[in-house]
Structures are given as structure tokens and as C-alpha cells.
Structure 1
């Protein structure tokens, strides 16, 4: 009998973000009968930790979680008597106040090696300290790393990444724009950069969307998916909500995702007089019934790699208004499968209003998306090919 290949994925935390959704989608479609699949979770406090599919071996260690939990983690290490790690973690917190790069390198250095056995393929799915840890402390015949964004917009770790990219067999990212960005920033590693799209299962998403959603809305319902934060344009969205309300449009706007502390969003909603129009629903383990109810999905991010939330909205054939960030045209053509607006109140308000008033345009988006459902499960073959090359 042919011996099964061993594949290890490394993930920082299975939280509510797009990278976590992408990781779980990949683990759901990968062949767990033909391969031994393991997942090393650096931090086990994420809300989707228990959603890892059956057949995947989860590797975890409370010390790793504590080392990535800030001050709370230091207290836990003290309680357990890991005094060396307490001192190392305090030094990491000091380094973080100086440089993300130094803190990331130091974190990888102090993270205990919790698995000694060799793997045929190791895939770091999050980058930074996970990449450094994989290269320095794990045993794999082949090692690849993922970067899920436009590197030109998120280049804090460039110096360290340049050093560690030398030691990996592949640098994978999720869109053509992201591929070009990596090749531009790291021309010496251009031949290592490869494209692998986020994997989505239309059948699974449609099934989950059919679960009941008891919340009701006003005449029009807008939904924004993702963390409630400035980077995702949540502050801009509230200003747009205020302008729509002043324009006497009857709507409700639901925000689905954890709320950050980079802005007082409740106060901003009060200032814009839209407290009764806006709902912050927090993180939802199944956001798709909410998404299914939406008249328009609004996404005003400052930047994205390739938004998995928007790919999900497209699978459910939702009209979408999306900001003109650098990678947007990897997913949208203006007035063909969505409306692309500039990142300001006037442009976003105009795009939303146009869709509300122009039923023919709105329906054209829906019909186009119905006939362009993208099931890209075959992307998983890129993982299999890496193992077969060993």
C-alpha cells in the first residue's frame, strides 16, 4: 500500500477574518483520506477553533497561545510557572513598542518547538512569525508561505520576510494584483511567487444561507461583512449612512463582524443620527442567512488582498457597492458585476442610491452573477502537486 503523504498547515488563529474562512474552506475540501492533514494552531482562542473539520489533526500548546495573548498571556505563563517564557514575553511586548519586525522575529525565536516529526509539506498560511517559526523550527521536505494581501500596502515585515523567503520553496498569494505586488517588492524571488485563490464551496454557502434569520429590516437592507474598523471603512460607512438618511432613504444597515476600538462607532452613529438605522451584530458563525436578506452589500475597505466576503456575496448573487482599492478589479468590473465607488461619502452615497433607484441595473448584477458562479475547488490541486513533486 502506498504510504500517505503528511501535510502540515500553520495558522495563527481561527478568528472571524477572511484568512480564517479561507483556511477552513481549504481544510473542508482537501482530501483527508489520501493525505495525513495536520493543523498547527498558534493561538486557540479564535471563535472558529472548534470548526476544524473531522479528519484534521489539530496540534496546539497552551504556551504558544499564551505567548500570543499579550499581557493576559504573560499572567497565564506566570501562573503555570514558565518563568523563562514570562521574561521572554515581557521583552516581546517591549520590542513591539519599537518595531513589529523585531517583535515578530523574537516571538518566533521563543515559541517552543511542539512537533518534532517530519512532514512532506509544511504550509504557513499567515506569514510573519509563523513563517519564521516554520523555517527555523519545523522539519519539512518542502515549505511554502502564504501572503493574503497587496504587499505594497502591508510591508512592515519586508526586511525580515526578504531574509526568510530565501528559505522557502514557494510564496503563494490570492490574486493577480497580489502576485504582481510580491514580484515588484521581491524581484529576486519572482520565480517563487505563485497564485492560489481562496477556495469557496458554493454548495456549502447556499446550504448555510438557507438557515433561518429572524431579524427584520426596513425597506432596504444593506450589509457590510468583516471587522468593524477603519481599515474596512466602517467609519466611512456610517458617514454614508448619515447622508442616505438625510436624503430621506428608508434603510437599515447591518454590520457583521467584531468591533475594533480604533473608533467609537456607536458615538459616530449617534452623531450621524442613524442609531435606529444601524445594527452592529458582532461576529456570526454563520453570516450567510443575513447576507441572503441583503438588498445591497457595501464594502468600503481601504485595501484588500482578495476579499473572501465579497466572493461569498457574489455566490449569493448580491448587488455590491465596493470601494476602488488597489485589488478591486481582480473581482469586479464596474457596472458589470458590481458598482465601484471612490472612498468618500459623495461617491459611495451616489453608487448606493443609483442601485436603489435603478432596478434594471440591480437586476443585471444579479443575473450576471447567477450565470458566473465560480466553484474553484480545483485550486486544491496546487497543494497536491507540491506534495507529488517531493
Structure 2
């Protein structure tokens, strides 16, 4: 009899955890597993890459309702919809009145909406929240399963109210999986009592698929004879775009002939566009949105740049490394889980001047750049052995 598995994640937009999940699902043996997948946001670009065997569950009524305009919500009011409207307004009001961190947003959402989010009545062998926050709360409270596993794919610390709120949900999990050793260590700073519960399974990447997708034809107007920089990441504060923009301005002022392409969408898009306009960077810092297949763009870049404040692992860096692209990255907590300074790239301080100097160094020292490329070519590619850890985890 097949094991019944449920995966829950926020969405399948083009980001690290999402790509990792799609890769994992593409590698499962569907002779052994029956897989359901629930999202809190539908329509992400990676949904098209899901294996046909995965049963994508319909949206929760609350998530469908909350996407409607206020006028439609009022027109369709009944007792259930009235409760959902109250939940949405309560959440929206708190967002407008307070500047919240991601853990705070997740807590406020769940405090506002959990009472109108129905239970999943199916009994699963294993239920997996593949991201922290709302998926973790949902699987803990609304799902029936013989075993429950929680993935932690960002490195962040919780204090006070956030720590207390999240602990009540993590208590219900059989195992907690971190995507790097550093992420595990940071999580245990908040919750040392979970040490015996914790496993480490790195984000899984398949070098064969990435290599094949990198040579597919793509319609991108990024043919450029100068230096091509690339950053991939959600347009959010975690990714350090202020550092990237200031670095871009410094490169322009230094007379470097370059374009800096960015793949991603997110809440800081308007702020980033404003900075681009005010500093006359429209021909230098170019937002491309998201792509189902970013690999031809990575392959045709000269330097991959990551300006993150924190990451659980840094999957985009791993993908650039697999395509032999030199990396300049800030020194976020988990960076040394895959980076070796001056071997497969440069690890620099978390400042625009440090990133600027790192990029400039690779421009000016072509011998160093070629040494890094040769090192990257010789590096082991991918980490499919992590799939064995997943199989061992789920039994």
C-alpha cells in the first residue's frame, strides 16, 4: 500500500524552498507514495513543473475568498463569508497599523484567520510543512497524520512573543528538518529543547536537469557586450537589495561597463524601482521578474552576486556554482555551508563597499577569476545523496 504524504508550502513562486520542493517531488517514486500538495497561494510559475502524479489540492475557501475584491466579498456575504471577511479585515488592519517582520506577519495571519480555516479530514501517514510560518501552523493544527515533519529553510532567531507562539506548534512535530547545519544551529539557539528532534537535509538540486535546462532557447533581450551580473531572489528586505542598489550606483560611478540583471518579485519592488529612477540606473539595474527556467540566464552571466542578510542555505548560489559562474556573496550565517572564499567565489562583508570591491576584484584580476572557474568545474555537482536522507526520514 502506498504511503499517503501531504506537503504544505506558501506557494510555488520561483524561490529557493519552492524549487527545492519541486525537485524533491520530481525525484519521488510514485509506485511507493501518494502525494497531496496544498498551497496558500496558487498560480506560481513553478506549478507547471510539478510531476503529474502530484495531486494539487484545491485552494482553501478562505484563501479564495481573501483574493476577491471587497465589493465581491460584500455581495456574497453569508454567515461563513462574514466570518472570513472579519478575519481578513482584522489581518489587513494589523498590517497597516504595524511594521511587522515575517514571523510576526505569520503569527498575525494565523491569529486572525485560523478559526475560519477548515481542517483537512484525510488521514495521512506523513504531513510535511515545507516552510516555516503559516504552513507550519496549518499542519500542526489542521491536519491529521501519523507523523508530522517541519522544514526550516531560513536562518532567523525568535524572541519573546514570537518564540512562545511558535513553540506550541513545533511541539506537535515528530521531526524538525533544517536545510543547513547553520540553520539548525540558529534554530536551536531559540529552541534548544528540540535538539533530539532535529535533522539536516540540504535543499536538493539535480545537476543533470539544471544543465539540460541551461541550454534551452530563451527569449531574453540580455545580449550585452559588457559585464553581466545576476542576482536571483525575492524582492524583499532579507535579500539585501539596498546593498545591491548602492553597489550598482558605485559601479556606474566607477565607469564600469555593466548590466545587473535581477530575477524575482516581491514587496520591495516599488521601492527598488524608485531608487533606480532617482539614481538613473535604468540601463544598469534591470528587473526581469520571475522565470520558470532561469538557468540560461545564469549560464550567460559573468558573475553571480548575492547580497542577502540571511539565508537558510542559498539555493541560487548553488545553482550558479553548478553552472560554473563565479560568485560574490555577503557573509550571511549559512554561507560557508557551500562557499570557500577565493576558491569558488568571494565571500565579503555585508556592505555595498565590500560587494563593490569584490566585483571589482574579479573584473581586474582575470587570473583569479579563471582559477575560480576551474575550481567550480572540478567541484562535485549537485547533492542527490540528500534524497537518501529524506527516504530515511519518512521510513
TM-score normalised by length of structure 2 = 0.90
Measured after TM superposition, the shift of residue 260 of structure 1 is 3.1
Residue equivalent to 2:200: 195
Equivalent of 2:6 in 5, 8, 16:
8
**Match for residue 33 of structure 1?**
31
* Deviation of the 1:371 alpha carbon: 1.5
Alignment of 1:169-318 (within 5 A): 169-213=174-218, 214-215=220-221, 216-261=223-268, 264-318=271-325
Question: What secondary structure is seen at the aligned counterpart in 2 of 1:264?
Answer: helix
Q: 1:266 to 1:165 in 2, by over 3 A?
A: closer
Query: Could you tell me whether the CA contact under 8 Å between 1:223 and 1:253 is conserved in 2?
Result: yes
CA change 1:91–1:52 in 2 (3 A) is same
- Does 2:109 align with 1:110? no
Separation of aligned partners in 2, 1:154 and 1:309: 29
CA displacement at 1:295 relative to structure 2: 0.5
Are 1:83 and 2:74 matched, yes or no? Answer: no
> Which residue number in structure 2 is paired with residue 51 of structure 1?
49
Instruction: Quote the RMSD (CA, aligned, Å).
Output: 2.2
Indicate the residue corresponding to 1:131 in structure 2.
136
Q: Distance in 1 between matches of 2:345 and 2:114?
A: 42
Alpha carbons of 1:231 and 1:29: their partners in 2 closer, same or farther (altered >3 Å)? same
1:380 maps to which residue? 387
Deviation per CA, 1:133-165: give whole Å up to 9, x if none. 212221100001111111327997322221111
For 1:344 and 1:19, locate their aligned partners in 2 and report how far apart those are by CA, in whole Å.
26
1:119 counterpart SS class:
strand
Match of 2:234, SS?
coil
Contact kept? 1:257, 1:283, Cα under 8 Å: yes
Q: Which residue of 2 aligns with 1:366?
A: 373
Instruction: Specify the SS of the correspondent of 1:224.
Output: strand
Range moving further from structure 2, 217-226 or 269-278: 269-278
Is 1:344 matched up with 2:322? Answer: no
Q: Which residue of 2 aligns with 1:65?
A: 63
Residues in 1 aligned to 2:55 and 2:322: alpha-carbon distance in whole angstroms = 30
Structure 1 range deviating more: 127-136 or 17-26: 127-136
TM-score normalised per structure 1:
0.91
Give the direction of change, closer, same or farther, for the CA distance of 1:318–1:155 in structure 2 (3 Å limit).
farther
Size of the alignment, in residue pairs?
Answer: 383
Q: Give the corresponding residue for 2:125.
A: 120
